[in-house]
Amino acid sequence: MKITTSKRFAVNFLDIAKGFLMAAITAVIVTCGQMIEIWMTSPTFSIDKVNVIMIIKVAIGGGIAYLVKNFFSPAKTVITGATQEQVDEIKK
């Protein structure tokens, strides 16, 4: 039986890695949105019209928002490989 607890008001390495992943996904989504907007509104499509500074700001904001959310999330306990009796005993 393995018990893993994520503490409240703490950020671990995995949270930081997921924050970077969230920032990258946010940047890709914002870039796609800008490209669609440029494609729909401009008669000439050019990748040069994508606002890189805004994409970087949104990516950083998305990553920081994810880390803040994890920082304030309540503690989590994950139990793996336990029988139902062991789970019931832990819940008491």
> In Å, what is the CA distance from 14 to each residue of 17, 39, 44, 47, 84?
5, 37, 43, 34, 29
Per-residue tens of pLDDT for the chain, all 92 residues: 667 677 788 888 888 999 999 999 999 999 999 999 988 988 888 888 889 999 999 999 999 999 999 899 888 777 778 788 887 887 77
Nearest-angstrom CA–CA distance, 92 and 87: 9
CB-based contacts of 11, cutoff 8 Å, min separation 6: 67, 70, 71
Total domains in the fold of the chain:
1
| pLDDT score of 12 | 86
Q: What residues make up the domain containing 80?
A: 2-91
Tell me the CA end-to-end span of the chain in Å, nearest whole number.
17
